[in-house]
């Protein structure tokens, strides 16, 4: 029996790692199918996802029937052994994976926002095709291509969200927080407790930790709001004024930038902090942020709209969102996340 985990980010890798440790799975039984993510520790067998190795027109023609060719790929990497699958969401390749003839069981594990939703809507159920309308004016070529590539009605109709599978037998839901997977019964939920003394956690944290410091997570997450970045920039200044007045911020702030940033002084958050005579210390990017939170102590973590604030709270830090300081606010997915606003302080103008 093999154990297959689908991962695509630092958080999904971390949760997979903690599940493996919790279940005490044998190392030689584990396969991580990674979608363009390189794990920070070389401990398990990692294989690229089917989509990653079949890019380009010619390869797509050769693998025209995706489900059948994906089955062959799974047979190859498992030596046709039976397996249990661990997935974050029921995306297209996860649908194919869990319906493989040798998949005997599957479980969900958290990957971020989606695991914390209190209620679902039609967009959530069909999230993978959220850019498509529920009505076609003429003819949907994209839908036809899906059918031509082997996705039959039964596969396509499988819902995207975990809650659609909450009443199925023998399915567990693994998470780092008790606030995740609200719609699954308590008997099915397994709350993971990572071992902060585990040396691999330190490696995943980049051997970096802080104590009693201010950590600011850059990013407006405009994809959730559709608002101009100007709202974010104005809120940064307001937040600095408030946090300075409270003596939360003094002379320096540690900033976690988005991956890939090279010239950090050009980042607006950094320039606004420096304009206020605050020294900026940049946190390294070669870490899993949740592991950094796990090893750090009593920090003040500032952000906007990000599940990272939930994880900072889970690991014992004081958290703040500056979204309440935006001159304009719109409803977002975070309004439907279990405990999100209750677990942090949404800063407001006085």
What's the confidence (pLDDT) of residue 68?
97
Domain that includes residue 282, residue range: 202-346
Final residue of a structural domain among 193, 224, 241: 193
Pair (187, 216) in one structural domain: no
In the block, residue with structure tokens 């679902």: 120
What six digits make up the tokens of 109?
């594990």
- Read off the pLDDT of residues 70-94 as tens digits, 9 standing for 90 and up: 999 999 999 999 999 999 999 999 9
Q: What is the mean pLDDT of residues 47-55?
A: 94
Beta bridge partners, 301, equal: 215, 319
Pair (180, 259) in one structural domain: no
**By the 8 A CB rule, do 81 and 102 touch?**
yes
CATH number, domain of 284, equals 3.40.50
Pair (135, 243) in one structural domain: no
Pair (143, 253) in one structural domain: no
Sheet holding 30-34, edge to edge: 45-48, 30-34, 2-7, 83-87, 103-109, 173-175, 189-191
DSSP 314-335: HTT-EEEE-GGGSSS----GGG
Domain count, the chain: 2
Pair (162, 216) in one structural domain: no
Pair (265, 295) in one structural domain: yes
Among the listed residues 113, 164, 103, the one whose alpha carbon sits nearest the alpha carbon of residue 305: 113
What's the confidence (pLDDT) of residue 106?
98
**By the 8 A CB rule, do 319 and 301 touch?**
yes
Lowest-confidence range among 46-55, 100-109, 114-123?
Answer: 114-123
DSSP 267-309: SHHHHHHHHTT-EEEEPPSSS-HHHHHHH-BS-EEEESS-THH
Q: Is the pLDDT of residue 102 over 80?
A: yes
pTM: 0.91
Pair (147, 73) in one structural domain: yes
Pair (172, 301) in one structural domain: no
Final residue of a structural domain among 165, 193, 221: 193
- Which 3-state string (H, E, C) describes 69-81? HHHHHHHHHHCCC
Q: Is the pLDDT of residue 262 over 80?
A: no
Final residue of a structural domain among 161, 193, 225: 193
Pair (159, 19) in one structural domain: yes
d(CA 38, CA 44): 12
């Amino acid at each position: 029996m093999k154990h297959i985990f689908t991962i695509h980010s630092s958080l999904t890798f971390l949760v997979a790692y903690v599940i493996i440790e919790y279940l005490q799975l044998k190392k030689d039984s584990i396969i991580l199918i990674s979608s363009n993510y390189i794990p920070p520790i070389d401990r398990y067998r990692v294989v690229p996802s089917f989509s990653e190795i079949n890019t380009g027109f010619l390869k797509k023609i050769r693998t025209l029937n995706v489900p059948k060719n994906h089955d062959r790929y799974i047979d190859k990497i498992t030596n046709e052994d039976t397996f249990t699958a661990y997935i974050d969401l029921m995306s297209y390749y996860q649908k194919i994976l869990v319906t493989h003839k040798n998949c005997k069981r599957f479980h969900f594990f958290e990957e971020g926002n989606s695991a914390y939703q209190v209620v679902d809507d039609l967009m959530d159920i069909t999230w993978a095709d959220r850019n498509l309308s529920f009505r076609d004016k003429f003819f949907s070529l994209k839908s036809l291509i899906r059918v031509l590539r082997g996705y039959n009605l039964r596969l396509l109709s499988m819902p995207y969200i975990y809650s659609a599978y909450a009443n199925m037998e023998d399915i567990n839901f693994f998470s780092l927080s008790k606030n995740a997977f609200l719609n699954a019964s308590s008997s099915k939920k397994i709350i993971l407790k990572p071992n902060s003394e585990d040396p691999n956690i330190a490696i995943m944290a980049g051997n970096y930790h802080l104590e009693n410091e201010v950590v600011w997570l850059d990013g407006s997450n405009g994809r959730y709001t559709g608002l101009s970045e100007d709202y974010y920039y104005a809120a940064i200044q307001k937040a600095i004024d408030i946090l300075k007045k409270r003596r939360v911020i003094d002379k320096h702030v540690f900033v976690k930038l988005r991956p890939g940033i090279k010239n950090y002084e050009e980042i607006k958050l950094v320039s606004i902090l420096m304009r206020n005579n605050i020294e900026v210390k940049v946190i390294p990017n070669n870490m899993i942020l949740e592991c950094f939170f796990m090893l750090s102590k009593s920090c003040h973590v500032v952000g906007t709209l990000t599940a990272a604030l939930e994880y900072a709270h889970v690991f014992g830090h004081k958290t703040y969102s500056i979204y309440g300081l935006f001159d304009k606010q719109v409803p977002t997915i975070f309004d439907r996340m279990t405990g999100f606003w209750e677990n942090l302080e949404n800063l407001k103008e006085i």
